[in-house]
Amino acid sequence: MVAELAQDVAIPTGMRHAAGLERYASVMRERFTRLGATWEVVAGDPAPGWLREGPAQAVVAPPMYVARKTHPRPAAKILLCGHIDTVHDPAGSFRELTIAADGRMATGPGCADMKGGLLVALFALEALAACGVTVEWTFAVISDEETGTFHADQALRALAQRCVGEGYQAGLVFEPALPDGSLVVERPGSGQFMIECAGRAAHVGRDFTKGISAVQALAEAIGSAGQIADPAQGLILSIGPLEGGQATNIVPDRARAWGNVRCFSPGAQAHATERLRGLERNHHTLPSTRVELLFNRPAKPMTAGVERLAMLARECQGMLHAHAGAKSGELAFAKTGGVCDGNNIQAATDNRLAVIDTLGVRGGGLHTLDEWVELDSLVERAQLTALLIERIAAGGLEGSAT
């Protein structure tokens, strides 16, 4: 697994690097087809024009890939999901998997988020096939998760709804576990927004009084938006990057800021929406301010179904620890401010499909040049995933696993 992880990490898939994404997708396709799965390429949808997706916006929307393994009489039906993109610069210095001297840890772009998680899923499915466990599964492979899954969102939601209609019992996503191995069972919703201000350009020296600064208007709007955040009430808001002006000797006539807002409850989302929309003003005079807002990831609550699935995962880890003679504590549950495709899958099915989304490796330093993975967790999480699916197939979600 470590050798394969090194090969995968060396494939650059950050910042919309199309050649790298296609190459890594072909690696995934080969592994899935060896398992007897079909492979489908689903075209991505265009993202909103105002959305800032990163320094290398795609000319063509990246696709979603779907691997599907059917069985005439499956004991269980599982929807799995993972993403092949990272946030790391393909031309940067952080390009390879570097293993620590003690052999326990490694660093590398996407080693935890989530190329390690994809290996966990693949090895688990291969182990189940080798053991003859009759599981039907569908695996959604996402190319744009790190920029919000705007291109794959509709296809992913449609796939989740289709799976529920076909009697699928659970959704498993392979985002990295928390550093201590905890499962995330509750996530906020997330929205992207843009504040755009218009003014009137003028020469700073000759016609300063004739100009109307869009940057000044934007600064005032940003100050107001910053007051919306209320972390104690489950409402987080951050703004950046910023754009405005062409030169210091020109009064700027256009300025924009992009931001992200996260809400743990519908009430917090409604409040954030009202306050952001309230920044809009002066549509017929200058300066003017308009706001674009899109909540693309609904909140992912801890439902009864999520709790049953997480408890079964906890029981499976206990079984694995007992078999190995380990004395580690039970699998912990947590909530986080992060969001992922698990939000979209669970919301698309109106919470009918329970999803746990941190079955990937133990790691940390995500989205930094210090991203790391605990190498032992590759095998451990693959074992946990395989046993969890086997227990679902044995009816574990209908009662206590035995």
First to last CA, the chain: 30
What is the rounded distance in angstroms from the CA atom of residue 365 to the CA atom of residue 88? 12
Residues 169 and 269 in one domain: no
Residues 239 and 90 in one domain: no
Residues 201 and 348 in one domain: no
Burial class (CB in 10 A: 0-12, 13-18, 19+), 328: exposed
Residues 58 and 180 in one domain: yes
**pLDDT given at position 216:** 98
Residues 47 and 144 in one domain: yes
| Structural domains in the chain (count) | 2
**pLDDT given at position 43:** 97
CATH assignment of the domain containing 81: 3.40.630.10
Q: Record the tokens describing residue 301, joined without a space.
A: 């609550």
Burial class (CB in 10 A: 0-12, 13-18, 19+), 102: exposed
CATH assignment of the domain containing 203: 3.30.70.360
- Residue 165 CB neighbour total at 10 angstroms: 10
Residues 182 and 195 in one domain: no
**pLDDT given at position 117:** 98
CA atoms within 13 A on the CB side of 89: 7
Residues 213 and 89 in one domain: no
Residues 65 and 150 in one domain: yes
What is the rounded distance in angstroms from the CA atom of residue 308 to the CA atom of residue 387? 15
**pLDDT given at position 54:** 55
Q: Record the tokens describing residue 384, joined without a space.
A: 């946990």
Residues 211 and 163 in one domain: no
Mark which of 236, 268, 297 sits at the end of a domain: 297
Q: Record the tokens describing residue 388, joined without a space.
A: 């969890």
Sequence-distant (≥ 6) Cβ neighbours of residue 369 within 8 angstroms: 92, 93, 94
Residues of the chain with pLDDT under 50: 55-57, 400-402
Residues 148 and 32 in one domain: yes
**pLDDT given at position 368:** 97
Residues 289 and 272 in one domain: yes
Sequence-distant (≥ 6) Cβ neighbours of residue 273 within 8 angstroms: 293, 295
Domain boundaries, position 255: 189-297
Mark which of 297, 329, 351 sits at the end of a domain: 297
Mark which of 297, 332, 365 sits at the end of a domain: 297
DSSP letter, residue 51: -
Residues 158 and 9 in one domain: yes
